[in-house]
Amino acid sequence: MLNSDKVNEIFSRFAAHQVDPKIELIYKSPYTLLVAVILSAQATDKKVNEVVPALFKIADTPHKMIELGEDGLKKMVSSIGLYNTKAKNIIAMSKLLVEKYNGEVPDSLESLESLPGVGRKSANVMLNTVFGHPTIAVDTHVFRVSNRIGLCKSSNPHQTEEALLKIIPTKWRKPAHHWLVLHGRYVCKAKKPECNKCIISDICQYDAKRLEVD
């Protein structure tokens, strides 16, 4: 496990490399981000971004999504994996927002997790990206990178989240999720990490570093 000085150095380098990291999903409001996040489960942001611009031209509020209906939504997102279940959840989520939250996306973990199709990771994405909370959403990239480089040794996403909140300095917590996601997506890849391009390779504790150039 990395000590506090090395953890701080990792995030200092991330900050110098990318001052203000952003989520890569296309959205224009808290509601549209929530829809995009639900669609992104077990799918790539790239795939979701191919679909949502056209969708949001038609349905960018809960009321409009309900009007579009489950069948109409399925047709628009059919290229995304698990689209039947996701469409069902998005319509149910939209109805609940209208009935319980006056059409607005709530800003608490408990309320977000009560929405159909929204788990802890998705809820933390919303809290961080929309509401500015220093939460850390643990997706496959964050889980892999955190364990690989030595930020934690955990066996599930919830353990990873708890460990990261303890070890990451307060000043880095809000952007930490985005840095780890982007690092995992473009550098510390699952099958073939590009260690020779990594800005923290000298700190990383990964045993199978690939420092040679292919």
Q: Is 192 a catalytic residue?
A: no
Long-range contacts of 194-203 (CB under 8 A, 24+ apart): 199/13, 199/14, 199/17, 200/9, 200/10, 200/13, 200/14, 200/149, 203/2, 203/6, 203/9, 203/10, 203/149, 203/150
Could you tell me the two tokens for 86? 């996701």
Number of residues in the chain: 214
Q: Is 107 a catalytic residue?
A: no
Which one from 28, 100, 139, 214 is the annotated catalytic residue? 139
Which one from 121, 153, 171, 197 is the annotated catalytic residue? 121
Catalytic residues: 121, 139
